[in-house]
Amino acid sequence: MTDPAPLILLVDDEPDIRTLYEAALTRQGFRVVTAENGAKAIEVAKREHPALILMDMKMPVMDGVEAAVNIHEDPETAKIKLVFLTAFSDPNRPATDIQAAKDIGALDFVKKGISLKELGEKVNKYLKQ
User: Could you report the per-residue pLDDT of 6-44, keeping only the tens digit for each?
Assistant: 999 999 999 999 999 999 999 999 999 999 999 999 999
77-120 confidence digits (pLDDT tens): 999 999 988 776 555 555 666 666 677 778 888 888 888 899 89
The one-character DSSP state at 2 is P
- 31-35 vs 7-11, strand pairing mode: parallel
Reference 62, options 87, 80, 35, 83; nearest CA is 35
Provide long-range contacts, Cβ within 8 A and 24+ apart, for 96-101: 97/57, 100/65, 101/57
Residue extents of the structural domains in the chain = 7-128
Tell me the C-alpha to C-alpha distance, in Å, between residue 6 and each of 14, 34, 44, 66, 94. 23, 14, 15, 25, 30
**pLDDT computed for residue 89 by the predictor:** 55
Give the model's pLDDT for residue 92: 57
The pTM of this model reads 0.88
In CATH, what is the architecture of 7-128? 3-Layer(aba) Sandwich (3.40)
